[in-house]
Structure 1
Amino acid sequence: MRDQEPAPQGTERRLSTKEAAELLGVKPETVYAYVSRGQLSSRRVSGGRGSTFDAGEVEALARRNRRESVGGSGSGGELSVRTRITLIESDRYFFRGVDAVDLATRHTYEEVAEWLWTGRMLPGSTFTAPSASVAVARRAVEALPEHAAPADLLRVATIAAATADPLRFDLSEGAVLGTARTLIPTLVAALPPAGHRRRDEGPLAHRLWSGLSVHEDPDEASLRALDTALALLVDHDLAASTLAVRVAASARAHAYAAVSAGLGVIEGPLHGAAGGLAHRLLTDVLDQGDAAPVIADELRAGRRIPGLGHRLYPGEDPRARALFALLEQIPRAEPALLAARDIVETTARHAPLHANVDLALAVLTVSCGMAPSAAETIFAVARTAGWIAHALEEYGERPLRMRPSGLYAGPKPPQPLPE
């Protein structure tokens, strides 16, 4: 038993229910659930209430739970984490067991987010930002220099919104869901308008449009493509930013801080910024009228062609396929679609790679009058809902389980003190 003298040799070390629960990182009632499932044995306290548990048995179960919760995947020692949110297999992906493309093409971003969070479909779901949260987020964003990147704006807006929420440390499911439903529209509302008046009402995609596009009055097909892009990108299993969110949530950081951790990771060119690189490639092809010289320059410079291939999809990226289908319904997107096809066909001469969602996003941003950085903004706003879902799931796990052991490779100690 902790903080007690060790049991005499030859006697069995017993733990109280409270001690067993603490060692396992669960609630006391869960300890009794382990007993009912035959995973633990218990012994009633003589002449009193409650039960005691064999310490060795409890410690063995704790070790087994840790291995099953976070451990080697069996392929290269990669970290694996049990989750009920997203499954990716056979060039498809699923949200809580339902085809994610079907969800995204038949429901709004807000409805898909609610499904991801709660496992319930709530038709007509809309997210509304509190005026106080919007005001403080806008003031913080307006204080940034003009060259601030989208992730900078959103990260600062997230921190500002957190300061306006005195109850942010409440990690109960209801409180975190309340945060999610107000934080996402606050981030959208904090974005400066893209050359015309800001829209603060209507569907979230329409509000986001005013912060991204120079076209003030979007057609319905363009808005639908933007909303579907948000829904398609809402989650994608344990991407780097999502793992960062789960690490923060494992340490019991509040939801704003967990989202901020995710925003700190997406700026990398191999993650959230990839759509912007594809946008610039696409505009170069449109300017030159031919993909061949543009692709040749990229290959000569030793750069990977953005917008092509995905390590999780040996075949076609289902997100790209769904978004391209919607973009084909937008007449002004035709030149960008033809340029994207030229990129894929030209690159296929040396590497048969399919278009991924970054190239589809590039077609959307180029054809709808958006800056290259718009793809990163769309990605970050969309993925915020997925980050919240993973934070919620992690809050239900043992605290600080995201604590791998370092493999020390430095000088063998003890070393002399440096002079």
Structure 2
Amino acid sequence: MASGLDDVIAAETTLSDVDGANGILVIRGRSLDDLARTARYEDVLALLLGNFLGKETPLIQSELGVARAAVFTHLAAVDATILALTPIEALRALMARLADGEDKAVALQLIAAPAVFTAGLLRLRQGLQPVAPDAGLGHAADMLRMLTGETPNVAQVRALDTYLVTVSDHGLNASTFAARVVASTRAGLTSAVLAALGALKGPLHGGAPGPVLDMLDAIGEGDNAEAWLGAELAGGGRLMGFGHRIYRVRDPRADALKAALAELKLAGQTPGERLALAEATEVAALKLLRLKKPDRRLETNVEFYTALLLEALGLPREAFTCVFAAGRVGGWVAHAREQIDHGRLIRPQSRYIGPAAA
């Protein structure tokens, strides 16, 4: 049996197709390259959940705005105990307050909640009051406004929309599989999303983008990149933002986010020297990985440019996993609904390799 269930088909889905050999991601028949250039998060929700939420993006935007306003009331429950948690643990605690069920209202609140709770928690941790949602705004625009208290510009909204679209769904990854397992028991969508959040919290899944910035901080200047990265590899360390369990070529999401960063740079929203450092680090890392690990194809993954984009938008690195959840929650809910509608109770077998009975 393959370790980690590699190459085991555990579900059939109409939601997304990850072609790791060729570096292609397709969501409901549309390539990520196309979606990242043209779509907003609500557009992708219409793709993933059109039969459930409704196929019209304006309707989804309106109803999602109402859902943001509804979940905002739960921020009143935040106390010192919740604020002492890490952001992802605090987000999980607040999401556990939401009603469970399998209907549209529950789904909309679950999709709305990570954006509202992440922004509110970050402000409360700074001693500021949460900013109430504006139901008339798009999801990405309102998340940024709730975070800063100011109306974001077009470039910032487009950048966050691109990120949310890019991470919205990605096959049967660990958190999505966890959501499908729980959904198959008919426990409810909230229970399924909470299971997914627990999986996303792990550093091998959703917890890695922040350390990319730690790596860049340590390198400092592009001229130092090759020496620093070489020493890291020689000491048995891992280069953050490179390599992926599925992709054997470049992660297409990395290109989408790099393009979004370039647009932010043109709009004067990200320091050029930071992006230059990242690009020098990427070139050096890929060179060293091909030299030091010729038997493995290790390319730039989604985490590398995620870290830079979210930093440029003013998000602290300790909250990056929460923002990941704000995008991926649409995929979790879609997979959970697909499992409820078309699947069975997930009950795989195990092979016993322990001692024989005495």
What is the TM-score with the length of structure 1 in the denominator?
0.72
1:321 to 233, 246, 255: 255
Task: Please state if 1:208 is matched with 2:126.
Answer: no
- Displacement after TM superposition at 1:307 (Å): 0.8
- Displacement after TM superposition at 1:178 (Å): 2.6
- Identity rate of aligned residues, in percent? 31
In the alignment, which residue of structure 1 is the partner of 2:16? 86
Give the partner amino acid of 1:203: G
Q: SS state of the match for residue 10, structure 2? A: strand
- Displacement after TM superposition at 1:211 (Å): 5.7
In the alignment, which residue of structure 2 is the partner of 1:363? 308
- Displacement after TM superposition at 1:80 (Å): 2.8
In the alignment, which residue of structure 1 is the partner of 2:93? 156
Within 5 A, what are the aligned runs for 1:12-51?
Answer: none
Within 5 A, what are the aligned runs for 1:128-139?
Answer: 128-129=66-67, 131=69, 133-135=71-73, 137-139=74-76
Unpaired runs of at least 5, structure 1: 1-70, 163-167
In the alignment, which residue of structure 2 is the partner of 1:408? 352
More displaced 10-residue stretch of structure 1: 122-131 or 84-93: 122-131
Within 5 A, what are the aligned runs for 1:76-155?
Answer: 78-89=8-19, 90-118=22-50, 121-124=55-58, 125-126=60-61, 127=64, 128-129=66-67, 131=69, 133-135=71-73, 137-155=74-92
In the alignment, which residue of structure 2 is the partner of 1:180? 107
Task: Please state if 1:258 is matched with 2:192.
Answer: yes
8 A Cα contact 1:104 1:112, kept in partner: no
Q: SS state of the match for residue 169, structure 2? A: coil
1:282 to 199, 216, 219: 216
Q: What CA distance in whole angstroms lies between the structure 2 residues aligned with 1:121 and 1:77?
A: 33
1:347 to 1:290, Cα distance in 2 relative to 1, 3 A: same
Q: For each residue in 1:179-237, what CA deviation from the matched residue of structure 2 results, as whole angstroms up to 9, or x when unmatched?
A: 2222222332223244566251122212322465x694533212211111001100000
8 A Cα contact 2:168 2:328, kept in partner: yes
Give the partner amino acid of 2:140: A
Unpaired runs of at least 5, structure 2: 291-297
In the alignment, which residue of structure 1 is the partner of 2:286? 348
Q: Which has the larger radius of gyration?
A: 1
Q: SS state of the match for residue 289, structure 2? A: coil
Within 5 A, what are the aligned runs for 1:209-228?
Answer: 209-210=144-145, 216-228=150-162
Q: What CA distance in whole angstroms lies between the structure 1 residues aligned with 2:83 and 2:203?
A: 21
8 A Cα contact 1:315 1:354, kept in partner: yes
In the alignment, which residue of structure 1 is the partner of 2:293? none
Q: What CA distance in whole angstroms lies between the structure 2 residues aligned with 1:185 and 1:290?
A: 42
8 A Cα contact 2:251 2:299, kept in partner: yes
Q: For each residue in 1:295-350, what CA deviation from the matched residue of structure 2 results, as whole angstroms up to 9, or x when unmatched?
A: 24532442211111223222221111111112112234222221211111111232
Give the partner amino acid of 1:249: A
- Displacement after TM superposition at 1:103 (Å): 2.2
- Displacement after TM superposition at 1:406 (Å): 1.7
Q: What CA distance in whole angstroms lies between the structure 1 residues aligned with 2:150 and 2:228?
A: 32
- Please give the root-mean-square deviation of Cα atoms over the aligned residues, in Å: 2.7
What is the TM-score with the length of structure 2 in the denominator?
0.83
Higher RCO, 1 vs 2 (CA within 8 Å, ≥6 residues apart): 2
Q: For each residue in 1:149-191, what CA deviation from the matched residue of structure 2 results, as whole angstroms up to 9, or x when unmatched?
A: 23212211211112xxxxx33x3xxx1x332222222332223
1:336 to 271, 274, 281: 274
Within 5 A, what are the aligned runs for 1:189-208?
Answer: 189-190=116-117, 191-194=120-123, 195=126, 198=131, 200-201=133-134, 202-208=137-143
Q: What CA distance in whole angstroms lies between the structure 2 residues aligned with 1:343 and 1:91?
A: 22
Give the partner amino acid of 1:150: P
- Displacement after TM superposition at 1:267 (Å): 1.2
